[in-house]
């Protein structure tokens, strides 16, 4: 099992979002009675955001866009559904974390940062605040962090592998079902959208 340090190495930095994803991913593996990451498509993750947390989900669970067992639903919610194949057992994990209260000084530094200030003082304060929040997430009892429920879902089909064809305009390869027809020739979506 990968550690939080391993996940930071994959993502590039430590942050509250990554810590949330780490805790979600560990809970998912436990709930699915898995001790290691998914090697193929035996575990499917449906993520409802595109935050740093998703990198932790990929690194810990082995659910990735490339394997086709990570599906993105752009709802902007810190919600993650995991489905174990072939049984179809599914859990929905929503983040229910309440951040530690910010001090007046921390709020002011965040305001300055949000307006584009990158002074040493502001960066140090923002970094310290993020580190404090990250530590709180990593140390929080799971019951105060996550809401885990069993759910009934329709088991999505496995990932499909499509034949690649060349776009008749730019010459780049495109998955055949993504190609469009322009003037009787197969073209990629960007070329199709050009006037």
Q: Which CATH class is domain 164-193?
A: alpha beta
Domain limits, CATH 3.30.1330.20, in the chain: 4-97+140-151
pLDDT for 154 equals 84
Q: Is the pLDDT of residue 8 over 90?
A: yes
Q: Note the pLDDT tens digit of each residue in 59-83.
A: 999 999 999 999 999 999 999 999 9
* Fold adopted by 4-97+140-151: 60s Ribosomal Protein L30; Chain: A; (3.30.1330)
pLDDT tens digits for range 91-118: 999 999 998 889 999 999 999 999 999 9
Q: Where do you find CATH 3.30.60.20 in the chain? A: 164-193
Per-chain mean pLDDT for the chain? 94
Helices marked H in 97-146: 104-114, 120-139, 142-145
* CB-facing half-sphere around the CA of 63: CA atoms within 13 A: 30
The structure's pTM equals 0.84
């Amino acid at each position: 099992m990968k550690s939080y340090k391993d996940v930071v190495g994959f993502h590039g930095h430590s942050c509250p979002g990554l810590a949330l994803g780490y805790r979600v991913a560990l809970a998912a593996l436990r709930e699915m009675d898995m001790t290691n990451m998914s090697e193929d498509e035996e575990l499917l993750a449906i993520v409802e955001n595109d935050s740093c947390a998703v990198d932790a989900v990929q690194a810990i669970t082995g659910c990735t866009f490339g394997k086709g067992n990570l599906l993105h639903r752009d709802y902007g919610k810190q919600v993650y559904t995991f489905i174990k194949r072939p049984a179809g057992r599914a859990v929905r994990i929503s983040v229910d974390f309440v951040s530690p209260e910010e001090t007046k000084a921390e709020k002011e530094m965040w305001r300055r940062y949000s307006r584009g200030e990158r002074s040493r003082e502001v960066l140090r304060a923002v970094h310290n605040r993020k580190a404090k929040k990250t530590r709180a997430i990593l140390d929080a009892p799971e019951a105060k962090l996550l809401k885990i429920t069993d759910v009934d879902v329709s088991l999505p089909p496995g990932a499909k592998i499509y034949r690649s064809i060349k776009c008749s305009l730019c010459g780049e390869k495109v998955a055949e079902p993504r190609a469009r027809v322009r003037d009787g020739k197969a073209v990629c979506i960007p070329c199709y959208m050009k006037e």
